Structure 1
Amino acid sequence: MGFAEEHQRWLEYHKKRRTGERLDRLERGHRHGEQMFVERVWWPIFGKLDDLHPEYEVADWRGRPYFVDFVWKPGQVKFAIEIKGYGPHVQNTDRTRYRQELNRETYLQIAGYRVIAIPYDDLESAPEQTISLLKALLTPSLLKTSSQGSSQFTRIERDILRIAISQSRSLRPVDVEKQLEIDPRTVKKLLSALCEKGKLKPILREGGRRVCRYELISSFMDIDLW
């Protein structure tokens, strides 16, 4: 299923489970910026929208309802994701609103959420930067909260896959050598083992037979590290 079909199915799923203000907020709040985030950032990383909740209602520090653009709850961890444009969040904010927003973000963290602010402008001009930052942020938390499949890989193999996941570009042997401080011969053996396990794909240098880099075969959430 492509993004457009999955996005529509996902929206309908959440609309059917809401009434009143919660439904109205979803219909009014999931607009251009939020849709760009889902299409240009979330979908390229995960290829699905599972556990992502749009316009999610939480109570603020005063007990009043507040709607977060997105909440992601894959398990033990939970993230509050806000899309922030320069106009509504800076130019049109007075001191009272600015103070309330800061207090709200602090309260979300007290409530156990990790708060992520996504610049609207980056969604338009540099979504790949947001993708890279989100991968680097989410990977350690997922590694801590899931134990399924962990015995399939050695500790060093899991470290290599974590590096590969966190990078927006393909993985080079030198990246592993520098970050894990291990010798080239060992790196070659480890990368070959991950290729045999079906997690990496060797990419040959153009016009030659020598492997110059590796790419993930599975998507971010299909890696059996979680």
Structure 2
Amino acid sequence: MTFDEAHATFIRRHTEKRSGERRGRLERGHQHAEILFLRNVWWPLRGNFKDLHPEYEVLDWRRRPYFADFAWLPGYMKLIFEIKGYATHVRDMDRQKYCNELNRETFLHAMDFHVISFAYDDIEQRPDLCITLLRMVLSKYQPSHHPVSRAQLAEKEVIRLAIEQSRSLRPKDVERHFEIDHKTSVLMLKRMCAKGLLRPSYGGSRERIVRYELAREAIDYF
């Protein structure tokens, strides 16, 4: 099934289930930016629209309806995806709208929704970046489709640790995080270097590796 066929079925199915303003909002709100996100980012990564809800209604703290661009509801997790254009969400936004948007995101977080925002310019011009970031987000909530060894799980955790620290890793960082000895941490880091996931950083004499930098290929490992 092509994207256009799957998308038409997806929207028709949700439209048939709705009435009143919820249906009207779907017909009015699901336009170019939202379709571009599905075409350029979601479809290449997922290949289906399972558990995805367009123009998803949530009541805010004032009991007023708010329609998110998309909600992904696979069961126990609740993710909201917003596509934000510069003009609408930055250039033309006044102070009150800005406050309301921040308050809404905080309220959604309190209601156990996780809000993920993508810039329209990235979706249009840099979809590969959006796909990589979305893959990282979704990988936290779904098991792999292939058997995963304990070594692979550990390597992904090392990558997450490096991303969180926003700096190069020392063997000591890995030792503390996994509660393992120094030799085991060094072997793990060197194995990841051999796979191209990390790059060694040498000391002044360049005789001894002192740190490990995250390689670009590591992001695609998820």
Return the TM-score normalized by structure 1: 0.68
Q: Cα distance 1:6–1:108, how it changes in 2: closer, same or farther (>3 A)? A: same
* 1:42 aligned partner: 42
Matched, 1:85 2:80: no
Q: Cα distance 1:15–1:103, how it changes in 2: closer, same or farther (>3 A)? A: same
Counterpart-to-counterpart distance in 2, 1:179 and 1:102: 45
Aligned-residue offset at 1:141 = 2.4
* 1:126 aligned partner: 126
Aligned-residue offset at 1:26 = 0.3
Counterpart-to-counterpart distance in 1, 2:30 and 2:122: 18
Compare relative contact order (CA 8 Å, sep 6+) and give the higher one, 1 or 2. Answer: 1
**Is the 1:52–1:70 contact (alpha carbons within 8 Å) kept by the matching residues of 2?**
yes
Counterpart-to-counterpart distance in 1, 2:9 and 2:187: 41
SS at match of 1:44: helix
* 1:181 aligned partner: 189
Q: Cα distance 1:180–1:83, how it changes in 2: closer, same or farther (>3 A)? A: farther
- Structure 2: unaligned runs, 5 residues or longer: 159-185, 196-216
- Structure 1: unaligned runs, 5 residues or longer: 164-177, 188-212, 221-226
Counterpart-to-counterpart distance in 1, 2:37 and 2:187: 30
Deviations 1:110-169 (A, max 9, x none): 1101110110011111011111111112212224xxxx989x543224556899xxxxxx
Q: Cα distance 1:104–1:179, how it changes in 2: closer, same or farther (>3 A)? A: farther
Paired positions, count: 172
Q: Which amino acid letter does the alignment assign opposite residue 95 of structure 1?
A: R
Return the TM-score normalized by structure 2: 0.69
**Is the 1:139–1:162 contact (alpha carbons within 8 Å) kept by the matching residues of 2?**
no
Counterpart-to-counterpart distance in 1, 2:130 and 2:2: 21
Report which of the two structures shows the higher radius of gyration computed on alpha carbons.
Answer: 2
Counterpart-to-counterpart distance in 1, 2:35 and 2:129: 17
Identity %: 44
Q: Which amino acid letter does the alignment assign opposite residue 189 of structure 2?
A: E
Q: Cα distance 1:112–1:179, how it changes in 2: closer, same or farther (>3 A)? A: farther
Matched, 1:111 2:106: no
Matched, 1:2 2:30: no
Counterpart-to-counterpart distance in 2, 1:28 and 1:179: 56
Deviations 1:8-38 (A, max 9, x none): 0000000000001000000110010000000
Q: Cα distance 1:112–1:7, how it changes in 2: closer, same or farther (>3 A)? A: same
| Residue pairs, 1:191-206, within 5 angstroms | none
Q: Which amino acid letter does the alignment assign opposite residue 181 of structure 1?
A: L
Aligned-residue offset at 1:45 = 0.5
* 1:196 aligned partner: none
- The alignment's C-alpha RMSD in Å is 3.0
Counterpart-to-counterpart distance in 1, 2:37 and 2:94: 26
